[in-house]
Structures are given as C-alpha cells and as structure tokens.
Amino acid sequence: MQVVEKISEILQLMAANPNKRQWRATEISNSLNMNISTTHRLLQALKKGGFVNQDQASKQYSLGINLIYYAEIVREMNLPGMVVYPAVQRLFDSTKETVFLTIKEGDTCVVIERINSHHELRIVKQIGDTRMLGQSTCGKVILAFLPEEMKKRIICYCDDEVLCQKTLEETKTNGYIAEYVEELDSTVVSAPIFSEQGNVVASLSVIVPQCRMSDDKENHLIEEIKKISSEFIPKK
C-alpha cells in the first residue's frame, strides 16, 4: 500500500504543475522528500507501464500517454460527465469564463470536466481537484440538496457551522449559489445537477476574477447557469 501511495504522490505532483512539462528525478525526490533511489525505482516502474515518459537526451520525465487512455475510460463510465458535457460547453460559450463540472464523491466533490477561460487573467481549474463538500462553492450547492442527516454530518467540517447552514438554506431556496472566494479574489456561481431519480449528483460552476465582475455580469451568470442546469431537473 505504501508503494501505491508513493506512486500516487509522484503522479499528483506532476499533474498539479501543468506548466512544468518535464521533471528530473532529483526534483521529484526533493519535492516529495522521497529517497532518490526509491524515486528512480518508482519512475522506472511508471515508465514501463506507460504512465510517464523519459526523454532519452535529458533523462527527464513527463506524464505518459496511458493516463489519457485510462482517463477516457473513467470519463465514459461516469454518467454525469457524459451527459452534462454539452452543458459545460454551452455555459462556456455564453460566458467565456472558466466553467467546470464537479461530481459528489463521498464527502468530497471532484472536478471531472472543465473548460478554462482564454482571458489572460483567469482562474484555471484542474481535473481531479478535490474539496470537502462544505468547503467550496461547488460543493455547497451539492450539499444543500443532500438528505438532512448527511448534511448535518458534513456541516461539522465548516469553519462557521451557523453561517454554512444559512447559506445552504438560501441555496436550496434559490436553486443556485453565488459566492465571493477571497483566496482567489473571484466570484463562483454554481447550480446543482440531478440524476433521473432526482438525486443531486454533481454541480455546474463558472468562476470569474473579481476585476471582471459587475452586478450585470453576475445576474447574467446566474440566469445562464440556472437555465442550463434546469435541463437536469427531473420532470414531475
């Protein structure tokens, strides 16, 4: 199990830094505080499996093509991603801002699809980004529509339980959430996505740097995301 965890750490490190295309084994070893011989051994195992490539000239490593193959299998198995992707594209087309789809995974939400804005100043979302349901805007909009027993258990993780409860109640009433995220200096607008059985399974979100936000733009984002997400509300 420890070997699997170390391999996971290597892949997560490389994936979390998309602007850095190649890595020396020593960089990975130092970043993860991992023994260099262990790092070399694991990188060679990943290379053999096609999960990383090694440049013959520089001897540096990059993510391998097999990751795309397995990612596509997971995407095809994931019904929300398959069904909702056209909605992600439409929301992006109407806003030109970063749009992302998040699914519920236990007590967390995970980004499984995204289209990043083409603006020079933008917030970039990475597939695989994971947050607790009560600690992100895209997670709160899912949490708001979960059964009360589950909701109460997860709210305990919130920094301010009273404020979180109030936010969830307003979100459920409005059918969306619009929230300023201080750490990103951006506004996130999210709406829930439901399965055919009426269970909340995902959220659709758009994130905009505050320098491009205005009341009119926020109203436009809310109108668009409510219109698009309403397609996934089961007919009574």
Give me the residue spans of the domains in the chain. 2-69, 78-232
Question: What fold does the segment set 78-232 form as a domain?
Answer: Beta-Lactamase (3.30.450)
Choice among 39-43, 69-73, 117-121, 221-225 with the minimum mean pLDDT: 69-73
pLDDT at position 12 is 82
Task: Tell me what the mean pLDDT of segment 8-22 comes to.
Answer: 84
What pLDDT, on a 0 to 100 scale, did the predictor assign at position 122?
Answer: 86
The 10s digit of each residue's pLDDT in 139-161 is 999 999 999 988 888 888 787 88
Element (H, E) at 132: strand 130-132
pLDDT tens for 167-215 read 999 999 999 999 999 999 999 999 999 887 788 989 999 999 999 999 9
- Does this chain's domain 2-69 share its CATH topology with 78-232? no
**Residue-by-residue DSSP string for 154-223:** HHTTSSSHHHHHHHHHHHHHHTSEEEEEGGGTEEEEEEEEE-TTS-EEEEEEEEEEGGG--HHHHHHHHH
Between 227 and 78, name the one with better pLDDT: 227
* CATH node for 2-69: 1.10.10.10
Backbone angles phi, psi at 92, to 5 degrees: -65, -45
Q: Tell me the C-alpha to C-alpha distance, in Å, between residue 220 and each of 104, 184, 191.
A: 26, 21, 14
